Amino acid sequence: MEEVLRNHEAERARLERRIFIENYWRLPWADFEVMLGIKNPLQVRSYGLADPSEAEEYLKACGFDCSQPNNRKVFEQFYCEAVYIIRHVLMSFEERQHFQLPKRLLRLAQPWHLFVLASDRNPRRRYERLWACALVKVFFAITNLEYSDKLRDIDFARNQIFGHLRALINTKDDGTQYISFGEIEAKLYAIDWKEAKTRHSIILKQLHKPESAADELFDYLGVRFVVRTESELPLLLKILVNSNILIPNNVLSVRTRNSLFNFRKSKQLQEILYSLSSMDRLEPEEMAALFRKIPWTFGIQDERPKARNMFTSSEYRSLQLTVRHLVRVPNPAHQVVDSLVTQLRHYRGVDADEASLVDLVPAESAKYFPIEIQMMDASAYDLSRFGAASHEQYKAAQLRVVRERVLGNLMHFTKDKLSTQEF
């Protein structure tokens, strides 16, 4: 009998050891795939946070300690916005009627239950899990936006950068707009100012480019210059360089997109004209006329660089540059300290300047802020307003991909499949 008990204990100990080792080496492969770049966060269809205490710690590590009333309130605000975006931005009216938000997600018992529901692998709760996963993705996109310095600095950046740009633009008596610097000028067909992206536009941008957080978006501000003829494109570029709008050291060349400016061919032809001019073979007026006839943009037969943005039509032609400008932003702490010191001096009756806390707090901070500058000629601009190259087509393609990434298989639930679900 004792031997049987010993064998039973040994078998139980071996089984416990095996379970311990299995759990010890059970790796979070889904998390590894995201961190190693094998998958992006928007491909995740389940989370490994089925235990409520783990989910609570996870949310706390993300910066939301919901035992603190202010943290909980902010979580609830972001969560409600995520629900709104999914239901009213990503879904149509008919889809809202068909794909109802599960009751447990409509009224979360605790904030961290969102992650518990997003981790439930019960097949009868798959619909609820996919809804929870979609909400998690949009929730994090909102937090990335809300805690980005870019939103706080955008007014200062707009005033400083756009102020410099607008100083270069003038309107003639006949209403024609020009951009000029020194003696060089280029006639403009149109100017489009992107004063700021809307909140939902930024969130959608993050969701369609999941590798980018809000701080890494580069088109919060933008301007599109449209010249009347292709021969004015190089002049526009020269004006922007000479006026220090385009600072070569601050241009983010990895973001440059060029399907318009035929740099190599135009440079070669211009060098030939300069050679002829150096031999006195051309009169100044002839030379100016030939400069304007150089094919500055890509022709139909020219091989153009392929678009790097999957949503950009092959028919869309532009030169797009992103440049960072150093923006000076007032320091709120300095303003507060300065006000307090002023009041203290008045109270003490001291008029002369003296060493104080104001000297220890910087009056302003300096930060780089990006602006996207796009250039087109009139024909490319007109083409971009209609057809496959239009902005509406671009946005429609973007929204289709965001819906697939965020909602995924949730949109494939038929009435028969929904009847098998518990929610």
Sketch the domain layout of the chain as residue ranges: 1-35, 40-147+390-423, 150-261+296-326+366-384
Helix count and strand count (H, E) for the chain: 18, 7
Reported confidence tier of residue 365, pLDDT bands at 50, 70, 90: confident
Residue 174, SS3 per DSSP: coil
Q: How far apart are CA 56 and CA 51, in angstroms?
A: 9
Q: Which residue has the higher pLDDT, 303 or 271?
A: 271
Q: Is the CA virtual torsion 400, 406, 408, 414 positive or negative? A: negative
Q: Which of 231-240, 304-313, 355-364, 373-382 has the lowest mean pLDDT?
A: 304-313
Digit-coded pLDDT (tens) for 98-138: 899 999 998 888 999 999 999 988 889 999 999 999 999 99
Q: What tokens were used for 373?
A: 């500058």
CATH level 3 topology of 150-261+296-326+366-384: Beta Polymerase; domain 2 (3.30.460)
What is the per-residue pLDDT for 311? 46
Digit-coded pLDDT (tens) for 224-281: 999 999 999 999 999 999 999 999 989 998 889 998 999 999 999 999 888 888 887 7
Measured CA distances, 272 to 200, 230, 257, 287 (Å): 51, 19, 27, 11
Q: What is the pTM for the complete model shown?
A: 0.74
Residue 126, SS3 per DSSP: helix
Sheet containing strand 364-377, strands side by side = 169-171, 177-181, 184-194, 222-227, 364-377, 319-330, 257-258
